[in-house]
Structure 1
Amino acid sequence: MPRPIRAEINLRALKHNLHRVAALAGDAQLWAVIKANAYGHGIENVLPALGSASGLALLDFDEAVRARESGWTRPILLLEGFFHPADLKLIERYQLTTAVHSEWQLNALETYRPAVPFPVYLKINTGMNRLGFPVEQALRICQLAQRSKAIGDITLMSHFSRADEKEGVSEPEAAIRHIADETGLPLCIANSAATLWHHETRNGWVRPGIILYGASPSGVFNDISNLGVQPVMSLKSEVIAVQPLRPGSSVGYGGRYIATGEERIGIVACGYADGYPRQAASGTPVSINGRLTQTRGTVSMDMIAIDLTAFPQAGIGTGVELWGEHLPVDTVAGHAGTIGYELLSAVTPRVPRIIVD
């Protein structure tokens, strides 16, 4: 029998979340973001549930090719654009839309001269200070792109650094909207947080990511608890051993958890080599049949210890949910000092993804 850990991927939940976000987006078309191997869920796994999306947004050519070879025929957007001029052959071959954030990319497009002009997303830096043309250069860049025979449809894009805050998009949204008004170009500026909480950013296209998978863009589950979205991944395993602890006994590396009374400890087949965060504090919640208990001690490479004292019926073979349907991944992430994005995308390849619908 295989090791019992698995990540169950609920396609019904993904379809549901897509429809919920599309309803919030109104008339805007929707890029479903599937970067980082669909946030750890598996690109090939999630595509059957994304049929109502207008397009896919991702990072690299490998992901784009996988989507095309899996039968996706609608637009695909390269969120970071291309990395070398030679990449333009693949963009043309697979009919991709590319972000353009640097002048060298404009020059490469002009030199390449495709048979059919490329659709591009001009990325404007409105304060994130990662990728993008400075706001003060944006009008000149737009004019260059509009004159280029290598470029077809142009959309303006940006990325908000504080879209999970109430006033976090006001200034950058105003800056890029001014550019759109001056150039007549459409906008795509709403990520998950902006799509949910800043209706003025939705425009012609939105590009939700983490919210499609049932996790919060703010990292706080209560921020999305009223939206009706559902977790898509449930990380599950089983108890593989039970250890009785006496008062003063410890468990795990470093003996960092010491029992204060008589306790039953369950050893679960899951560890940091599976993607469960090693930094998760002792006391991080886990779920047994919808009831919460807690981890005990340090997370090991392949195992964690959990408290079974209040579960006398639990033993070897008892199922455990590390996050998912009964326990939001954002809650677990909070105990590890991180966010749900990281936990979902960090589930390692050795954990089988099991499709449920």
Structure 2
Amino acid sequence: MISDLVLTIQAVYGAPEELHAVITPAAVTVSMTSLTSRPRTTISQTLQGADAAEWHNRLAKLGIAKWEDHYAPAADAVILAGTKWQLVITQTSGETRTMTGDTAFPPGWEELITLLRQSALAVNGHIVQPIRWQFDYVRFADLRFPQFHGPSDALHHVAIFQRTLAIDPGQGAVVVHTTFSDNRRNHTEQYTDPALTQWLVLRIGEALAELGDLQTMKLDTLDYPDAIFGVILTYPGDEQIVVQVDADDPDMRDFWRVLNQLLTQGLNLADQSAAAEWRKLGPVLEYFVAVTFDDSGKAYYYRSDLTDLAIDDRVIVPVGQSNHLLTGTIVDITTDLPANLPIPPEDIKSVIRKKEVL
């Protein structure tokens, strides 16, 4: 059995790199070091349990024992930019073997590089996928009563909208549950479609990787923000990462937007009618409303994730560089912005709240 593996790569373009794996039956520690920086920068990760077992399986499939001692390009090959490499493996018996190459590589080379780099950079410390994914978006409202002038006008903090997306790759199932606080009925939609599930897992995994390592973190239940976003990732062995953050966190807000887009796209790919039904359950996290302030008819666009806005509703929105608040009237609701909008989409402001009719 291989107990130690050191791979050094020197390309004509790019910094020399060392990939090192210390291997035991129960754990694998993989590090990646840039050999040019001073001090040297090393990224390291230890895999255990199902991740270590997956690592051993992937390494065994490479058949390193059958690799040759040296690889060189054919005599008549034209080499524009070369890559020199050296692989040193140590067996548990203490025996070592060195393999080298100069712009020529053994079969399974790319798979080895991917395994080592993926392990050193493993998101959340795992190279295996979660066995279950759950995402929750919850929006709250403070209940207020007329003429209440106590220490705070807000008497209760209650959920007014919640959407939960659960993905179970083992069952090939995607569940979307939407809860309202008013008289609209709650919805639970389940799609048993392995192709849809795997498509979502792949795409959502890519989006999650952009967030980096997630750490279990729960918000103080006595001081909720206006909306929270939650992530529950369940790995083999029932290990869970549970994250609760303010939904206005820029990274999480962007991820939730991507998540909704992926879900809609996935359902469109799986079943056009299912996608149409899902969109009826309530607005996606973000849509746009056109608001006018006078009889001139000129409309200004604002973002919103409120669940009860309709055309002709009066809303309070920020205006100008000072963001002073004005009341306007909604004249259109859309998920698509006009192509000739004079400001970039990321600069569009959000609706503050609906103006209640007294």
Q: Is the shorter-chain TM-score for this pair beyond 0.5, marking a shared fold?
A: no
> Normalized against structure 2, the TM-score is what?
0.23
> Normalized against structure 1, the TM-score is what?
0.23
Mark the structure with the bigger radius of gyration.
Answer: 2
More relative contact order in 1 or in 2 (CA 8 Å, sep 6+)?
1
Q: Where is the strand percentage greater, Structure 1 or Structure 2?
A: 2
